[in-house]
Amino acid sequence: MTAPAIPETTALENDLPLLQRHDDVTRYGIYPTADRFSEDFDEDRYRHALATHALGGLRPLSLYVHLPFCVSACYYCASHKVITADHNQADTYLDYLEREIALQGAAYGATPKVTQLYLGGGTPTFLQDAQLSRLLAALQRYFPLAAGAECSVEIDPRHIGPESLQLLASHGFSHLSISLQDLSPDVQRAVNRMQPAPLTAAAIAQGRALGYRSIHIDLLYGLPRQTPASMADTLAQVLTWRPDRVSLNHYNHQPDRFKAQRHIDAATLPTADDRLAMLQQAITQLQGAGYVHLGLEQFALPQDELAIAMRQGRLHRNFQGYTSQAECDLIGLGVSAIGKVGACYAQNHRVLEDYYDALAHHHLPIARGMTLAADDLLRRSIIQSLLCQSELAFEPLETRWLIDFHHYFAYELEQLQQLASNGLLKLHRQGLEITPKGRLLTRSIAMVFDRHLREARNSARFSSLI
């Protein structure tokens, strides 16, 4: 069977010298990055921002719920998590989460139109069925879902049964995100995540039988004991399952920041050349199977709603990744969760005890955040265009923001000239287009417009992209 043609706008060109030359890029994916948030932004400032924003009319709403529990630690993981086999801890967490849901519902005011719900973690399916039902009922009381809302959940095939998938489907969940990383037993042992292929295959089959319309597989390259051959074998197996979306993320080894990664022997990590070989081979396999490149690390089948949104110019990014819903406000619920309302971002306490303490005293558990100035909003729109559409037109920005683009961004345009000379983009008077050669390095282009990153570059440490 001949693979579908790849649309011109998603074409990739693997240029090894270019990838090697730009091997110092952070896993940059959104503006502003969370490390720009300030503790000066507290509950009072959030409530003020919410009240001010409401005067202009509330947008459709997206909910993100962070459920931090995992039965065991995956050594590669950089997410906020709580390791426990005691499911009673989830009952305590839900006690406080229900308080936050009620407080956020009261603060948000008018009944919102919730068009998107995402359960992330940790492992959301750590919750038992009665606990999942309790959570979904609490959300429905204060944030009722609109008809046809997009409901997504991260699942661990090792800790979920068909009853839980049926329960979630009955509540309108239609998108499954499955963490896999690698199928090699040697790699799985090295990262403390034994997940035989039949478990994942069964979860996919059950999801499809229950009517889930989008299934997403998350892979990592650059893991300990991983080789180009083992990565190719993993992807070959994954492609037989025909998931709707595949994420191909790079493992960032930062044991100083993430305690679990200290269990990984750095001597077992693949070389830079092997990492590049894995990336290039994976792209070849994905494209050969008919997947299109959405941007950054994400691939999808042409008929997937994200691929359609990209072709229609509707693709967007938030802290959960690519989405087809660009105009949503975002309420983050749970420990460490991030929300966005209008021009402000807010993040909850990242330490569970601090999260509980704030709610015990009837306060929203907001630890830090940021209110974007006009310059930030302008830069956010530019970076969104680059990460989602791979192009930028100057005139609409000049009209909307009353600027002369070439004067306002003189410094940035000078930096872009160098990237253009390397073949990453085509720069002309009216705008720029990222080339097939530059699509794997879109971050390098988008980061040029991040003034916070530029100001902090000399002191901040950034992980490698490749």
Residues 418-430, mean pLDDT to the nearest whole number? 93
Distance CA 20, CA 435 (A): 17
Give the CATH architecture of domain 7-32+373-456: Orthogonal Bundle (1.10)
Token pair 């999801």 in the structure block, residue: 207
> Dmax over Cα atoms in the chain, in whole Å?
62
Of 222-231, 318-327, 449-458, least confident by mean pLDDT is 449-458
Q: Return the pLDDT at 24.
A: 47
Q: Provide CB contacts within 8 A for 457, sequence distance 6+.
A: none
Token pair 């995540």 in the structure block, residue: 193
Distance CA 431, CA 405 (A): 10
Give the model's confidence band at 30: pLDDT under 50 very low, under 70 low, under 90 confident, else very high: confident
Average per-residue pLDDT for the chain: 90
Top CATH class, 51-331: alpha beta
- What is the dihedral sign for C-alpha 70, 75, 81, 86? positive
Termini Cα distance of the chain: 33
Q: Could you tell me if 332 and 338 are in contact, meaning their C-beta atoms sit under 8 angstroms apart?
A: yes
Query: Tokens in use for 373?
Result: 């100035």
Give 314-329 pLDDT, tens digit per residue. 999 888 889 988 778 9
Residues 35-58, mean pLDDT to the nearest whole number? 85
Q: Return the pLDDT at 52.
A: 80
Of 384-388, 453-457, 460-464, least confident by mean pLDDT is 460-464
Give 146-200 pLDDT, tens digit per residue. 999 999 999 999 988 789 999 999 999 999 999 999 999 999 999 999 999 999 9
Q: How far is CA 418 from CA 86, 103, 391, 456, in A?
A: 55, 50, 17, 21
**Which residues of the chain are in CATH 3.80.30.20 domains?**
51-331
Compute the 3-state secondary structure of the chain and give helix, strand, coil in percent, each to the nearest 5: 45, 20, 35
Query: Tokens in use for 112?
Result: 């919102």
Query: Tokens in use for 105?
Result: 């519902």
Assess whether pLDDT exceeds 80 at residue 145.
Answer: yes
Q: How many residues does the chain have?
A: 466
Residues 355-372, mean pLDDT to the nearest whole number? 97
Give 6-26 pLDDT, tens digit per residue. 334 456 666 655 665 555 445
- What is the dihedral sign for C-alpha 240, 246, 250, 255? negative
Residue 161 region by backbone torsions, left for phi larger than 0, else alpha for psi between -120 and 50, else beta: beta
Give 53-112 pLDDT, tens digit per residue. 766 667 889 999 999 999 999 999 988 889 999 999 999 999 999 999 999 999 887 777
Distance CA 402, CA 129 (A): 53
Helix locations, 312-404, DSSP H: 352-360, 374-389, 394-401
Assess whether pLDDT exceeds 90 at residue 29.
Answer: no
Q: Return the pLDDT at 27.
A: 67
Q: Could you tell me if 134 and 399 are in contact, meaning their C-beta atoms sit under 8 angstroms apart?
A: no
Which run of H or E residues covers position 212?
none
Q: With CA atoms as reference, report the closest residue to 122 among 69, 74, 162.
A: 69
Q: With CA atoms as reference, report the closest residue to 325 among 339, 306, 341, 338.
A: 306
Q: Return the pLDDT at 56.
A: 60
Assess whether pLDDT exceeds 60 at residue 266.
Answer: yes
Q: Provide CB contacts within 8 A for 176, sequence distance 6+.
A: 152, 153, 155, 165, 203, 204, 207, 212, 214, 215, 216
Distance CA 413, CA 409 (A): 6
Q: State the pairing for strand pair 61-67/329-333.
A: parallel
Q: Could you tell me if 216 and 249 are in contact, meaning their C-beta atoms sit under 8 angstroms apart?
A: no
**Which residues of the chain are in CATH 1.10.10.920 domains?**
7-32+373-456
Percent of the chain with pLDDT over 90: 75
Q: Return the pLDDT at 11.
A: 64
